[in-house]
Structure 1
Amino acid sequence: MCNLIFDIDGTLWNTTEIVAVAWQKATDEHGKSKAVITAELLKKEFGKTMDVIAEDIFPDITSPKERQELITLCCRYEHERLHAITSDVADSIMFDGVKDTLRDLSRSHRLFIVSNCQKGYVELFTEKSGTDDIIEDHLCFGVTGTCKGETIMTLMKRNGLSAEDTYYVGDTLGDYEACQLAGIRFIFCKYGFGEVKTPYKAIDSFSELKDLFA
């Protein structure tokens, strides 16, 4: 039995088109930034912590307080829009094979999620994907306030996971660096949002995990 920890955005699903609309609405209503939010822009940012994303996307807001107000509004509208999507839409934004593969893996392995997302986002994913019964535990930046590597270590400690039996599945250099800090092996999703040159393993599709952990 292995312990598999998953990233969400760029690994399990791609919400950037939906989120871009929500964030643009928040930006326009807030009125302090001229930022144009697109899916391509978000793909470059997802995987970073929310405070860093806010600094990158809203450099024209110099006040940390106002920038925090805007990113909070962005997250609120994002959550509302994603919460309202139908099961068909949820299925369409998940990468091929995710639901079936997670279900298959859960029969022999322990499954977890660690993300740099805001509080409530992991629960939204598990609800929309129908995986809340197979994801044993999860943590995110919105709860811990720490970098992803430290958040991974916190989850490992509270679930008694050994580094030797634990793998992280993600899609960015930040994910790889988090695994280096946590002392675990990194499986790179080549179909995602980032580039990693020296992962432990690389996969072209999520369903390849079934063979890796057969």
Structure 2
Amino acid sequence: MQKPDSLIFDMDGTLWDAVDTYAESWNLIFQKHDIKRIIRRDDLLHVIGLDGKRLAKVMLPEFDEEPGMEIYYEVNQVRREILPTSGGVMYKGVTEGIKQLSTKYKIFVLSNCAVGIIPLFLNWAGITDVVTDTMAYGTNQMPKNYNMHLLMDKHNLQSPIYIGDTNGDAEQTRLAGLPFIFVSYGFGNTDDYDQKFDDFESLTQYYMSL
């Protein structure tokens, strides 16, 4: 694996944990629509990272696609409203590490989230000014492998890597033809990776030493 010229990061489970806030956004909309369900943290952990259409099917199995997606969009609107104050828990070493890594690499964040979520995360983390660009599933409803290539083409990236925490991240990275770096502290698991790190400090140290 050649030395990368850029690092593309997944967000949820890789850079922070905002699952409690995400659960709150679902519950607020369920209350609004008198849907007799309460979403807890554990209910979301196994679906973090799914794209919007798949997530809506899992979370709202009693609804057809169109009304299910309308509720999903409402959830994301509430999420955008509460994230600036509820936020999430940054994984240890991420804020400092991203700032360090940005002195040596172009930094990107690519997530299966809705439009507007990544900028709120960057603001919460205090790293807006060191991230070159971002890409969300909600922008074009396209899979991560497609959006990886959009970033590559837009910024003329020659040897990017993708860093994530799930097997889905690994699958999408392979489809894009890129090296996959797995962080084991997140929400998922996979055996398909080029390198694995158990904490963000180790990842930072490794790539700063190249």
Which amino acid letter does the alignment assign opposite residue 46 of structure 1? I
Equivalence for 1:3: 6
Gaps of 5+ in 1: none
How far apart, in 2, do the equivalents of 1:78 and 1:8 lie?
A: 15
Aligned: 1:114 with 2:114: no
1:178: how far off? 1.0
User: CA offset at residue 35 of structure 1?
Assistant: 3.8
Which residue of structure 2 lines up, in the alignment, with residue 185 of structure 1? 179
Q: Which residue of 1 aligns with 2:151?
A: 155
Aligned to 2:79: 78
- Answering whether residue 128 of structure 2 is matched by residue 132 of structure 1, we say yes
TM-score (norm 1): 0.91
Kindly provide the amino acid, as one letter, of the partner of residue 42 in structure 2.
E
Q: Please tell me whether residue 98 in structure 1 is matched to residue 99 in structure 2.
A: no
Q: Unpaired segments of 5 or more residues in structure 2?
A: none
Cα offset, 1:68, TM superposition: 1.2
Equivalent position of 1:18 in the other structure: 21
CA contact (8 A) 2:5 2:157 kept: no
Root-mean-square deviation (CA), in Å? 1.3
Deviations 1:102-139 (A, max 9, x none): 01101111100111100001111111111111100111
Show CA shifts across 1:127-183 (max 9, x none): 111111110011111112101111111111111012xx2111100111101110111
Given the two structures, how large is their TM-score scaled by the length of structure 2?
A: 0.93
Q: 2:26 corresponds to which letter in structure 1?
A: W
* Structure 2 counterpart of 1:45: 47
Q: Give the fraction of aligned pairs with identical amino acids, expressed as a percent.
A: 30
> How many pairs align?
205
Amino acid in the other structure paired with 1:130? G
Q: Secondary structure at the match of 2:8?
A: strand
CA distance in structure 1 between the partners assigned to 2:113 and 2:81 by the alignment = 15
Tell me, what secondary structure is at the counterpart of 1:45?
coil
Q: Could you tell me which of 134, 139, 143 is aligned with 1:143?
A: 139
| Among candidates 171, 174, 190, match of residue 196 of structure 1 | 190
SS in 1 for 2:43: helix
SS at match of 1:84: helix
**For 2:46, what is the secondary structure of its paired residue?**
helix
